[in-house]
Amino acid sequence: MNTKKLSAGDIIDARCTRCKEVLNHRIVAMVEEKVVRVECNTCGGAHGYYPPPAPKAAKAPKKASTGSSSKSSGTSTRTSRKDPGEADRDEWAALRPNMESERAVAYTMDGKFRMNSLVNHSSFGLGVVKQLIPPNKMQVLFQDGMKLLRCQ
């Protein structure tokens, strides 16, 4: 295997802190045999040298342990997680029958709202104020899901 000794001005692969990718870089500074500073050939940014990540080795399958253990030793099936928006839709479905749309306050950015009050938004429709976030925001549950809105 023939390896060339690196020196300032050579091109090497490095992780760019601006581009957030492994790209070609020119070596700017070295301390003894170690690369210390590089310049990205793509964006021109100079930064410390971050070597590209080492390729991940394939994991060997786990073998069942012979001792007593609280974990099961067989293959486990993954359970799919519930869709995060599904909880909002379930809550909306439970609250909707009790909503009186004529009691809803028209939404304006300058309006003042209370917890659990009904809001009528021009784009999102009818909603319920779920959380007031100081100094001037609120989370409102609409049929489409939770939205963050400005208020007083």
In this structure, which topology does domain 85-150 adopt according to CATH? Answer: SH3 type barrels. (2.30.30)
What is the model's pLDDT at position 32?
A: 87
What amino acid occupies position 18? R
Whole-number pLDDT of residue 75: 65
Give me the pLDDT at residue 47, please. Answer: 92
DSSP assignments along 5-36, one per residue: PP-TT-EEEEE-TTT-SEEEEEEEEEETTEEE
Q: pTM of the prediction?
A: 0.46
Domain ranges of the chain: 11-48, 85-150
What per-residue confidence (pLDDT) applies to 25?
92
Q: Which pLDDT score is estimated for 64?
A: 54
| Per-residue pLDDT tens over the stretch 8-46 | 889 999 999 888 889 999 999 999 889 999 999 989 999
* pLDDT score, position 138: 94
What pLDDT shows up at residue 98? 86
d(CA 14, CA 75): 39
pLDDT at residue 73, as a whole number: 53
Residues in the chain with pLDDT values less than 50: 1, 69
